[in-house]
């Protein structure tokens, strides 16, 4: 591992909370696809399986920011443990209901309960911010966490699908629940690195972090970005299936995530300068443009190359987004702000996958790549229209690492 990343873990407790976050984040990529695999195997009904997966995603999008808001006010330990117990109980109910063929209403109620799963990515980034706020190491930390996200999305579905098909249908979701329990309870046992809570009213602020105009732009843009991700996943599976190599879809999508993983590692080694909002807008534009070659794909090797290149623009954009959240959200609402971006992505994934499925049924898989192309254009448009809001940080914020360094240089001059 390059020296900036080794230096990152010199902080006491950083190795432990990062490892706990990695384990606790695996269910993010395992649970939804695990439920789809389990239900389709037990019932043969892909429509029901997809609907349950969408219910989990949308429930998490609604509940997640509220959990993170409570975390900002009361601390990670006091909120994450009960929220996780609710999610685990709901997961157990879903597995039992599917196995014993209980009424569909029970399945959907349990799926909605799983939405109380905490956003571990936001919790870990909040710990890094508490350790390295105002230093260049925070950029490296955000880069590392982006790589961890991609690693989870590369291996999580493979593990979940593999266990459910090779062992027994409930194995994938069951292991995901185990990862969630282990990760959350290990993380919350580490009190020394837990960010200080900010009870309501102590800093004179109230309401939700989403009142920030800058955060509104980021969330709206990432709804469109999430639609890119959701559509690419669905269309790629259909594209590979049409060409008689459905199993190759997992390899192609893994290359998409691998491109982002490589870019995140390299980006973390750079000492970036300049206004982060300009870098963010450039990243959104490049993600949007990278969808255009997908409209021209004619075979799986070309698709694999195109998706790997497209993936190179994901992690740097996500890393810069986290820096912008610090600029536009009060410190007392940082975890909630990060979770709102994840919520925007989750909503977009649900919309993109649904739209892509409709287009595929109507016109075929190749035409389905029009959905991520249109979604990319929408993301670029929203980014352009909201750029002025991003150029005006919230009053009283400390600034990102880059702007902090620039102000120091001007003061010296």
In a domain, 141, yes or no: no
Q: Left (φ > 0), alpha (ψ -120 to 50) or beta: where does 356 sit? A: alpha
Q: Are residues 162 and 238 in the same domain?
A: no
- Average pLDDT, integer, range 360-376: 89
Q: Are residues 103 and 244 in the same domain?
A: no
What's the structural domain count of the chain? 2
CATH number of the domain within which 217 lies: 1.20.1250.20
Of the given ranges (122-131, 339-348, 396-405), which has the lowest mean pLDDT?
396-405
pLDDT of 241:
79
d(CA 197, CA 375): 37
Q: Are residues 193 and 230 in the same domain?
A: no
Q: Are residues 242 and 277 in the same domain?
A: yes
Q: Are residues 21 and 129 in the same domain?
A: yes
C-alpha distances out from residue 341 to 81, 100, 268, Å: 23, 37, 20
pLDDT tens readout for residues 370-391: 999 999 999 999 999 988 887 7
DSSP conformation class of 11: S
In a domain, 143, yes or no: no
Q: Are residues 163 and 246 in the same domain?
A: no
d(CA 298, CA 300): 7
d(CA 227, CA 372): 7
C-alpha distances out from residue 326 to 63, 145, 155, 170, Å: 22, 16, 30, 40
d(CA 224, CA 312): 18
- Average pLDDT, integer, range 351-370: 83
In a domain, 151, yes or no: no
- Average pLDDT, integer, range 8-28: 91
Q: Are residues 335 and 295 in the same domain?
A: yes
pLDDT band at 91 (very low <50, low <70, confident <90, very high): very high
d(CA 121, CA 87): 17
Report CA 255 to chain centroid distance, whole Å. Answer: 17
* Closest by Cα among 160, 152, 141 to 258: 152
pLDDT of 407:
32
Q: Are residues 274 and 180 in the same domain?
A: no
d(CA 84, CA 183): 10
Q: Are residues 193 and 239 in the same domain?
A: no
At residue 49, does pLDDT exceed 50?
yes
Of 145, 173, 197, which marks where a domain is finished? 197
pLDDT of 44:
77
Q: Are residues 114 and 162 in the same domain?
A: yes
* Closest by Cα among 114, 153, 151 to 345: 153
pTM of the model: 0.77
What are 71's two structure tokens? 């975390």
pLDDT band at 8 (very low <50, low <70, confident <90, very high): confident
* Closest by Cα among 304, 149, 165 to 236: 304
In a domain, 411, yes or no: no
In a domain, 150, yes or no: no
At residue 290, does pLDDT exceed 60?
yes
In a domain, 74, yes or no: yes
Report helix, strand or coil for 171: helix
In a domain, 402, yes or no: no
CATH number of the domain within which 93 lies: 1.20.1250
In a domain, 355, yes or no: yes
Q: Decide if 19 contacts 152 (C-beta within 8 A).
A: no
pLDDT tens readout for residues 174-228: 999 999 999 999 999 999 999 888 776 444 455 677 778 888 899 999 899 988 9
What are 128's two structure tokens? 């890094």
For residue 61, the enclosing domain spans 10-136+156-197
Sequence-ordered list of residues with C-beta below 8 angstroms from that of 413, at least 6 positions apart, any chain: none
* Closest by Cα among 315, 338, 402 to 126: 338
DSSP 226-277: HHHHHHHHHHHHHHHHHTT-TTHHHHHHHHHHHHHHHHHHHHHHS---S-HH
Q: Are residues 167 and 189 in the same domain?
A: yes
Q: Are residues 167 and 218 in the same domain?
A: no
pLDDT tens readout for residues 266-280: 888 877 777 888 889
- Average pLDDT, integer, range 237-259: 81
């Amino acid at each position: 591992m390059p020296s900036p990343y080794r230096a990152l873990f010199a902080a006491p407790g950083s190795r432990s909370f990062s490892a706990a976050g990695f384990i606790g984040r695996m269910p993010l990529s395992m649970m939804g696809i695990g439920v789809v695999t389990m239900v389709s195997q037990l019932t043969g009904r892909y429509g029901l399986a997809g609907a349950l997966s969408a219910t989990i995603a949308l429930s998490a999008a609604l509940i997640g920011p509220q959990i993170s808001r409570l975390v900002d006010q009361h601390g990670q330990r006091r909120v994450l443990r009960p929220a996780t117990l609710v999610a685990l109980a709901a997961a157990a109910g879903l597995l039992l209901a599917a196995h014993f063929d209980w009424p569909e209403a029970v399945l959907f109620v349990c799926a909605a309960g799983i939405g109380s799963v905490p956003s571990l990515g936001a919790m870990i980034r909040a710990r890094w911010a508490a350790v390295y706020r105002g230093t260049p190491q925070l950029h490296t930390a955000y880069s590392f966490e982006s790589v961890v996200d991609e690693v989870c999305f590369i291996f999580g579905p493979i593990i979940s699908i593999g266990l459910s098909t090779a062992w027994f249908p409930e194995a994938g979701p069951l292991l995901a629940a185990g990862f969630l329990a282990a990760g959350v309870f290990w993380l919350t046992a580490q009190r020394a690195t837990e960010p200080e809570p900010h009870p309501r009213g102590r800093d004179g602020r109230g309401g939700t972090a989403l009142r920030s105009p800058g955060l509104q732009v980021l969330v709206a843009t990432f709804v469109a970005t999430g639609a890119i991700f959701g559509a690419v996943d669905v269309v790629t599976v259909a594209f590979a299936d049409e060409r008689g190599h459905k199993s190759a879809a997992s390899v192609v999508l893994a290359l998409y995530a691998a491109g982002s993983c490589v870019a995140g590692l390299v980006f973390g080694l750079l000492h970036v300068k300049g206004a982060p909002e300009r870098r963010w807008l450039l990243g959104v534009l490049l993600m949007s443009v990278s969808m255009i070659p997908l409209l021209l794909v004619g075979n799986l090797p070309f698709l694999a190359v195109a998706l790997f290149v497209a993936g190179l623009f994901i992690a740097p954009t996500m890393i810069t987004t986290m820096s912008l959240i610090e600029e536009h959200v009060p410190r007392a609402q940082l975890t909630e702000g990060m979770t709102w971006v994840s919520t925007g992505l989750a909503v977009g994934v649900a919309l993109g996958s649904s739209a892509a499925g409709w287009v595929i049924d109507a016109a075929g898989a190749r035409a389905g790549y029009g959905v991520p192309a249109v979604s990319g254009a929408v993301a670029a448009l929203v980014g352009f229209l909201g750029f002025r809001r991003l150029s005006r940080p919230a009053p009283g914020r400390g600034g990102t690492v880059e702007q902090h360094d620039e102000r120091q240089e001007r003061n010296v001059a």
